[in-house]
């Protein structure tokens, strides 16, 4: 298990995850169909992600980074669940979801969730 966490830590990038959350905010803020963005739980979940990531302009040491990445991933899963319930879909949205999970060291999970959020399977940006 220790090797896996070190391997995962090598892929964690909390500052860039924060950048991706900003992209998700912009991407989702323009959505109004099938439900207005402001009437969903999405703004609160995005604010929670911002609060979790804002303190890290640089990646912290491994134990802290793994803990924060796990906390962010839990909220990001809720965010994806809400995106699916609301019905927002799009290639760019899916790409942002995939990128967020990649920054948390969870690339395989992000690749699967991104498709559910609308990323095209043939996207040149997919691994």
Query: Hey, which bits of the chain come out as E strands?
Result: none
Q: Is the pTM of this model over 0.85?
A: yes
Q: What is the pLDDT of residues 33-89, one digit of tens each?
A: 888 988 999 999 999 999 999 999 999 999 999 999 999 999 999 999 999 999 999
Within 8 A by CB and 6+ apart from 74, the residues are: none
Q: What is the pLDDT of residue 3?
A: 46
pLDDT of residue 125 exceeding 80, the answer is no
Domain boundaries, given as residue ranges, for the chain: 2-116
Q: What is the pLDDT of residue 127?
A: 66
């Amino acid at each position: 298990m220790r090797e896996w966490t070190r391997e995962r830590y090598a892929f964690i990038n909390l500052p860039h995850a924060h950048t991706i959350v900003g992209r998700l905010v912009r991407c989702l803020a323009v959505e109004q169909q099938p439900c207005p963005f402001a009437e969903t739980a999405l703004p609160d979940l995005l604010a929670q992600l911002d609060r979790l990531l804002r303190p890290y302009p640089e990646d912290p040491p491994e134990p802290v980074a793994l803990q924060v990445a796990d906390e962010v991933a839990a909220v990001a899963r809720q965010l994806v669940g809400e995106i699916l319930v609301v019905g927002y879909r799009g290639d760019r949205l899916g790409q942002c979801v995939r990128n967020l999970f990649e920054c948390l060291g969870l690339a395989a999970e992000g690749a699967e969730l991104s498709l559910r959020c609308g990323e095209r399977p043939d996207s040149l940006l997919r691994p």
